[in-house]
Amino acid sequence: MPTLAEPRVRRELPEVEKSIRFIGVSDLAADINPVAGEISRAARGSRLPIFYLGRQPYRPVWELQRQLHAWRVAGEIPDVVLLLEHEPVYTLGKHADERHLLSSRPADAEVVATDRGGDVTYHGPGQLVGYPIINLSRRDPFGRDHRPSVTWYVRGLEEVIIRTLAAFGLTAARIAGLPGVWVGQRKVAALGVRLARWTTMHGFAINVGVPRRYFEGMVPCGIPDYGVANLNDCLPGPVSVQEVARRLAPWLRGFLARRDCQINYWR
């Protein structure tokens, strides 16, 4: 199991203003280039820059991932993490069974076939999505201690999410043979990744407060015998997607062996 460094933060939520830098952004759907360029410039000043993009449509963010991936493979930028919410969309992995996307699904959700692993999943408002662009090669010039192993990487992301949920007082776990993070028999976080030249794309999604009608429009991840839960279903009071992002960031830093971690919020 991957080892995570203990975050050097207080147990209570730190002051937002101390960890967030606000950056203006143009319409991502219209043109990814200004955003990609700004991320590239900002990334050079941090060991693990984390960018919160707000609510965005799926396809432009996928294209943004491709651009950042190419720069990461070329060694032009360090590792980068994108956090965001999507507009409603069902995505299908490379080997997904289309029968798991139901005709009863809400009509306002787009459907996109992707190049990630996994089956059918949903992204939308009320869900924290994370796209780490990480070079797992031992030969990485930035000198990180990663392993060229898909299993190591996926189990590490699961552990990051498990410990993040523990910060809210929630006990989560893995289920043998089923990727993701579970509370009892209900999945609260899904994972689906792609690696090319040992550099990652796609990532994870944590359900915070997703309307249940979107879950009912699919067989989540192609697993019919288990349910899906929101984080807010399991807590005594609601939390926001951004609050989950802030709790998650120190654990991502711990897993990725960084000494600093700044979240940059686009507005």
Question: Which residue in the list 133, 221, 245, 256 is annotated as catalytic?
Answer: 221
CA separation for the pair 81, 133 (Å, rounded): 6
CA separation for the pair 265, 22 (Å, rounded): 5
CA separation for the pair 100, 113 (Å, rounded): 13
What's the per-residue H, E or C state across 97-117?
A: CHHHECCCCCCCCEEEECCCC
C-alpha distance across the termini of the chain, in Å:
37
- Cβ contacts of 179-184, under 8 Å, gap ≥ 24: 179/118, 179/154, 179/221, 180/221, 181/206, 182/226, 183/229, 183/234, 184/229
Annotation marks residue 261 as catalytic: no
The residues assigned a catalytic role are 221
